Amino acid sequence: MNIVWLLLIGAAVISGAVKGHMADVSNAMFSSATTAIELAIGLVGGMTLFLGLMRVAEDAGLVRVLARALRPVFRFLFPDVPRDHPALGAIAMNFGANMLGLGDAATPFGIKAMEDLQALNPDKDTASDAMCMFVTLHSSSLQLIPVMVISLRSAAGSKNPSETIVATIFATAASMIVAIGVSRMFARWFALRPRGGAA
């Protein structure tokens, strides 16, 4: 992350200097900072709502039921998380909401999942393998029906805006397999501490 962060800023300053876009770069710094805070504030409302709902579901034992139902999948993806742990329920809610394209609901569930995973994490400053797996899976874009893309296509006058859905699902599935494989591999290569036996 350190290198990429510096690379982005370095490339920006160099390219800005070469192309004479320095004023734009400087403006972008401050407007992006403002946008970041607006985004964070914008998340608060939905987050408060869904964290409240999530607690009700937890107190009613629903999260546990969900976690249990998905146990086989989750034991494979998150071997370090104890079975029936609330984190698994939150992860299930997050994946479900993502697949249905409910982005506003998915993020709070995902954050709840991260908090539950953090409770299990021995080193609070460093990501656990389960966290890395969870976040990496998002990069494969879990959404089944890419609503945003379809609206863009139809706005551009496509004859059949939804014809790319099947291809998208296949591509997503392929990258999801890569996400799982790579996370697993890296977890072994960059293990935090030597594990006893075959992990």
Within residues 137-166, the interface with other proteins by CB under 8 A covers 138-141, 143, 145-166
Pick 33 or 73: Cβ nearer other proteins: 33
Decide: 25 and 16 in contact? Cβ < 8 Å: yes
Q: State the Cα–Cα distance between residues 145 and 149, nearest whole angstrom.
A: 9
Of 36, 69, 73, 199, which one interacts with other proteins (CB under 8 A)? 36
Pick 66 or 74: Cβ nearer other proteins: 66
Task: Convert 154-171 to b/e letters by CB count within 10 Å (16 or more is b).
Answer: eeeeeeebeeeeeebeee
Q: State the Cα–Cα distance between residues 75 and 110, nearest whole angstrom.
A: 18
Interface with other proteins, residue 35, by CB under 8 A: yes
Q: How far is the CB of 50 from other proteins (least distance, A)?
A: 9
Phi, psi (deg, nearest 5) at residue 125: -95, -10
Pick 14 or 69: Cβ nearer other proteins: 14
| 8-state DSSP, 163 | G
Pick 77 or 172: Cβ nearer other proteins: 172
Q: How far is the CB of 12 from other proteins (least distance, A)?
A: 4
Decide: 74 and 88 in contact? Cβ < 8 Å: yes
Stretch 50-89 residues interacting with other proteins (CB under 8 A) = 51-62
Residues in the chain: 199
Binding window for other proteins (CB under 8 A); candidates: 40-48, 69-77, 79-87: 40-48
Stretch 85-124 residues interacting with other proteins (CB under 8 A) = 100-102, 104-105, 107-108, 110-111, 114-115, 117-118, 121, 124
Q: State the Cα–Cα distance between residues 13 and 187, nearest whole angstrom.
A: 34
